A and B are shown apart, each in its own frame.
Chain A
Amino acid sequence: MEIILSAAIGVLTASGVYLLLRPRTYQVIIGLSLLSYAVNLFIFSMGRLRVNAPPILEPGGVGDLSRYTDPVPQALVLTAIVIGFAMTALFLVVLLASRGFTGTDHVDGREQRSD
C-alpha cells in the first residue's frame, strides 16, 4: 500500500511542479490543484495508513491508537482542502482579471518568446 501511495504522491507532485513552471496561467492553476492533492495526501500519510480504523469513537468511549487511526493529520488536511479551494478560486479570478486587463494569458502579463 505504502509504495503505491508514495508513488502516487510523487507523480502528482511531479505533474504539479512541471505545470507550475509553464508559461500559461491555466497550466499553473491545474498544476496548483494537482500539487495540493499531493500535499494533502502527503500530510495525510504522515498518520500512517490504516484500513477500517476511522477515528469515530463508540459513544462514551475513550479512544486509543491501537483501534483508531491518527485524527490529527486528518484535521489538518480537512482545513487544507477548504483553504485550497479558496486559493484556487482566488487564483482563477486573478488570472481572469489579468487576462482581461492585459489581453494575454501569459503568467507575466505579456507575451515572451514562444515556449
Chain B
Amino acid sequence: MLSVFILAPFAGSLIAIFFPSDQRGATAWFAGAIALLCFLIAAGLYPFVTSGGVLRYELAWIPELGLNFTLRMDGFAWLFTVLVTAIGVLVVLYARYYMAAEDPVPRFFALFLAFMGSMLGVVLSGNLILLAVFWELTSIVSFLLIGYWHHNAHARDGARMALTMTGMGGLCMLVGLLIMGRIVGSYDLDVVLASGDTIREHPLYLATLVLILLGALTKSAQFPFHFWLPHAMAAPTPVSAYLHSATMVKAGVFLLVRFWPVMAGTEAWFWIVGLAGLTTLLLGAYFAIFQQDLKGLLAYSTISHLGLITVLLSLGSPLAAVAAVFHIVNHATFKASLFMAAGIIDHETGTRDMRKLGGLIRYMPGTAMLAMVASAAMAGVPLLNGFISKEMFFAEAIETHQANLLDTITPYVATLAGMFAVTYSLRFIHSVFFGKIPSDLPKIPHEPPRWMRAPIEFLVLACLVVGIIPAITIGPFLHTAVVSILGASTPQYNLSVWHGWNLPLIMSFVALLGGIGLYFLMRNYLATSTEGPPVFRLLHGQRIFERVLVTLSWKWARWLEQRLGTRRLQPQMRFLVFVAIMAGALPLLLNHFELPPLLVRGIDPAFALLWAIGIACAVGAAYQAKFHRLAALVLLGGAGLVTCITFVWLSAPDLAVTQLLVEIVTTVLILLGLRWLPKRIEDTQESELLSLRVRLRRLRDFVLALVAGGGVALIAYTVMTRPMPETIASYFLERAYKEGGGTNVVNVILVDFRGFDTLGEIAVLAIVALTVFALLLRFRPQADSLEAPEQQKVQNAFDDDHPDRAKGDSVAEYLFVPSVIMRWMFPVSGMLAAYFFLRGHDLPGGGFAAGIAMSIGFILQYMSGGTRWVEERLRIHPLRWMSIGIIVAAATGIGSWLFGYPFLTSHAQYITLPIVGKIPLASAIFFDLGVFSLVVGATVLILIALAHQSIRAPRAHARALRAAKEAK
C-alpha cells in the first residue's frame, strides 16, 4: 500500500507531461486527483500508525549492499505525508487559477507531481541510502520548478543557486549517512533508530553529525546557507507556497526530527544546531522587516520560523521536540495560505512591491480578511495556532538545558525575534491592505475567482480551529507523531490556549506590543527604503556565493590548467606512452618477473627471412614517413603483407584473408588522401644543422620507443613460450558445429556465439563512415592543394602541343589496357565476394571479407574509369547498403524473439542449391548478410566521399575565383 505514495505521483508525472498544453483544467484535475488519492490513502492508514505502530513495505533492490527499497510509515511520517498531500491538493487547486494560459501547464503539473513523489519518498524512506536518493530528487525537481520560467534570468540564477546549495548539502549528507550505516552495521532505518547510544558514543559521531547537519541545514535554509531561499522566490507562487511551507525546506527539519532520537542531546549537537537555529531565527526575522517584495518578506519569515524549529530541536528536551513538530504543522498551514494570498495580490494588481501597494481592502475584502488572520498566526497572536507553538517555544527557551552562554541568551533572542515577527506581519497587512490607494497600479484589482480563494479559506480555518481548540483537533495526531519519535520518553504536555499568567505569556505580550511599536516607528522609513536591511544589504549572500563559484570554477581551474595542462599533443602522447610502459612494467617488476630461457631452436629460415623483410619495411616506413610519404605507404603495405603471410603460416586463414583485403582498401584510402597534404621537401642542409634540442628530443622519443618495443617483445615471447592454460577455447571448439552449425570456428564465434559484439562492431563502422562523410562535406582544402597534379599538367601540356588531340585525352587514355581489364574484373570481384560470403560459415571467408572484397570491386571501377565515368553508369547508394545491413542484422537478432529464444539465437541447417551445391544455411547467415551489406556500404561511402573531393574542391575553387573576378 505504501508504494502507492511513490508510484502514483511519479507515474502521474509521466502521464501529465503528455497532456496538451492548452488543457489547463484537465491537467490540474488529473494532478489534483493523484494528490487527493494519496491524501485519502494516508488518511485511511491512520489506524495502523496510532500508538507507535509502524507500517513497512520492503522490496529487495541490491540486498548485497544493504540497499533495499524499504518504505516505512510511523506516526511522524504519517503526519508529514498528510501535510504534504493535503497542501498538495490545495496548491493544485490554487495553481489551476494562478497559472496563465500561455504557461506550459503540463510541465508544471508533471514537475509538481514528481516533487510530491520525491518528498513523500524522503518522508517514507525506510533505508538511509534510499532516503538520500529521494533527497537528491527533491533537490533536482525543485531546481526545475524554481527555474520553471526559464526565460527569466532571475529564475535561472535562483534555481541554480538552490541546486548548488542543496546539492552540496545532499552530497555531504550522503557521506554522513554512509558513515552512519557503517557505524550501525545496517542502512535500515529501524535498526538505526534503535542504536542511538552506539552512534553517539562512536568516535566518528562528530564527523557524521557535521555531515548530516550540512545536508539538513542547507535544505532548511539555515544560516549561513540561508541565502538561496529568497532567490528561489523567482518560482511561480504555487511552487513557493508548496516548497516553503510543507516540503523542500521542511525536509531539512524533517531530517533533524528523524535523527533526533539517535543524535540529539550531546553538546556538539546543542552548539551546532542551536547556534545555526538561533542566528537564523533572529536574522531571518530582522531581514524580513526590510523586504519590499511581498514574497521576499515571506521567504525571510520562512527562514526565521525554520530557525525557530531548529532551535527547539537543538535543546534536546522531549518537550521541545513536541513543540518543534507542532510548529512544523502550524507553520505549514499559515505560510502556505500567506504565499497564496501574496500570489493573489500579485495576480490581481500586477506587482508585489509593498511601496506601490496600499488600500486593497476596499477591492478585495475577503482576501484581506484571510491574509490578516494568517499573518496574525504568523505573528503569534492568541487564539491562532502560531500562538500555541510559540508559547511552547518561549516556555522551552526559559528552561535551562545546558549551563552555557547560548542557553542563557536564548529567551532574550526569542523575545526579540518574536517582536520582529510581529513587526513584519503587521507590515505585510498594513502596507498592502490599508493606507491610501495608489494610482499607478498596473491593474485594477478585484477579488480572485471563487475557487482560487478556497484553499486559503481552508487553511485559515485550520489555523483558527487549531488555535482555539487544539486538544481535540490536532491533539491526537500530534500525539501519534510524537510517540513515534520519542517512544517511552514522551513527556506530559498540555495543548491549551490558556496556561495562566506565566512568563511565556508575558514574553508574548512584550513581543506583541514591542513589535507593534517598532512597526509604527519604522513605518515612514520602510515606505520608501530600498530593498534589504541597512548595512546587511551591502553584504549580499548571493554575491559572495557567486564570487566563490567564480574563484573555484574559473580562477583556480584556470590556474591548475595552466600549470598542469598543455594544448600540445606531443607531450600528451609522450605522457601516455610513458604511463602505458609503466602500467606494463610495474606489475612485472613487483611480482619478480623472471626472464624466460631463450630458445633458438625450431626456426624456419623462410619465416626468418620473411620477417627480416617485414622488419626492414617497418623501420623504413618509420624513417621515410616525414619526407617520402608514398614510399612510407608502400613500406607500410609491405609490413602488412608480411603480417598477412604470418597469419597464413600460423593457422589463421580467416585473418589472412581479411588482413589482405583491408590492406588494399587502406592503401587506396591513404593514397586518396595524399594529395591534400602539404609538400614537404627534404632540405639536406637543414637536417645537418638541427639544433641539439631537437636531436635530444628525438633521442628521447627513440629511447621511449625502444623501451616500449622491447617490453612488448619480451612479454610476447614470455607468453608464447609458456604452456597454454585452461581457456574458453575448448568451449567454442566443442560447440561450434554442434550448436552453431558451422565448421569455421572463428566465423561461428563472430556471427553466433558473440553475435552481439559483432552487431556493436558494425554499428561502430557505420558511425565512422557517417562521421567521415559529414566531415568531408565541410572539407575546405588549402589553396596549394588545388592545382591539378603534376602528372595531369604534363599530360594536358602534351595534348595542347598536338593539334589533333583534345585536352584531357591523355588523362583518359592513361593506363588504358589495365583499366579495361579492371572493368572486366568487376563481375569477377562480385563473384569472389559471393564466394567468400557463402563459404564463410564453414571455410575461411565470411561477411567481413566478402564486404570488403565487394567494395574493392567498386573501387577498382572508380580507379579505372574515373569518378565521373563510373557515376554516369553506376549509381551506388552506400547509405542504403548500410541501412539495409544494420536492419537485416538487427532483424535477424529480433527474429529469434518470435520463436521465444533470446536475442540473436541462431538456428542451423544445410540446404542444397542447384549448381552451387550444399551450403550451410544457419539463420546466422542472414546476420552475416547484414554484416556484408554494412561493410560494403561503409567502405564505399568512405572511399567515394574522399574520391569526390578531387572533383568537388577544384570546382568550388574555380567558382570562388570566378566570383572574385566578377566582383572586381
Contacts and interface: CB of A to CB of B under 8 A. Distances in A.
A82 B850 CA distance: 13
Contact of B654 (A9, A74, A107): A74
Contacts of B775: 93-94, 97
Interface in A29-57: 29-31, 33-34, 37-38, 40-42, 44-57
A57 B737 contact: yes
B625 A37 contact: no
B701 A5 contact: no
A40 B772 CA distance: 24
Contacts of A17: 577, 704-705, 708-709
Q: Which of A7, A17, A24, A38 has the most CB of B within 10 A?
A: A17
B469 interface: no
Contacts of B211: none
A74 B652 contact: yes
Interface string B743-754: 111100110001
Contacts of A47: 724, 729
A45 B720 contact: yes
A87 B771 CA distance: 11
B59 interface: no
A60 B743 CA distance: 8
Interface string B588-612: 0000000000111011100110010
B639 A71 contact: no
Interface in A46-103: 46-65, 68-72, 74-75, 77-79, 81-90, 92-97, 99-101, 103
B744 A56 contact: yes
- The secondary-structure label for the interface of chain B is helix
B640 interface: yes
A26 B761 contact: no
B649 A51 contact: yes
A55 B709 contact: no
Interface string A1-21: 111111111111111111111
Contact of A72 (B639, B729, B780): B729
A59 B744 CA distance: 10
A87 B728 CA distance: 29
* Chain A interface extent, by class: 35 or more
B706 A14 contact: yes
B650 A78 contact: no
A10 B677 contact: no
B626 A3 contact: no
A13 B629 contact: no
Contacts of B746: 55, 71, 74-75, 78
A37 to B, nearest CB: 5
A51 B733 CA distance: 17
B614 interface: yes
Contacts of B650: 44, 49-51, 69
Contacts of A27: 625-626
B737 A51 contact: no
Contacts of A26: 625-626, 629, 632, 677
A22 to B, nearest CB: 7
A90 B720 contact: no
B618 A65 contact: no
A85 B665 contact: yes
Contacts of B622: 15-16, 18-19, 30-31, 34
B670 A97 contact: no
Contacts of A54: 651-653, 844
A61 B728 CA distance: 18
A5 B720 contact: yes
Nearest to A114: B694
Interface of B: 567-570, 573-574, 577, 598-600, 602-604, 607-608, 611, 614-615, 618-619, 621-622, 625-626, 629, 632-633, 636, 639-640, 642-643, 646-647, 649-655, 658-659, 662, 665-666, 669-670, 673, 676-678, 680, 694, 697-698, 701-702, 704-706, 708-710, 712-714, 716-717, 719-721, 724, 727-730, 732-734, 736-738, 743-746, 749-750, 754, 757-758, 761, 764-765, 768-769, 771-772, 775-776, 778-782, 842-844, 848, 935, 938-939, 942, 946
9 contacts: A12-B618, A34-B639, A47-B729, A79-B758, A82-B662, A82-B761, A92-B673, A95-B673, A97-B775
Given A75-B746, A92-B946, 4 more contacts: A71-B729, A83-B765, A93-B775, A99-B676
Interface of A: 1-27, 29-31, 33-34, 37-38, 40-42, 44-65, 68-72, 74-75, 77-79, 81-90, 92-97, 99-101, 103-105, 107-108, 112-115
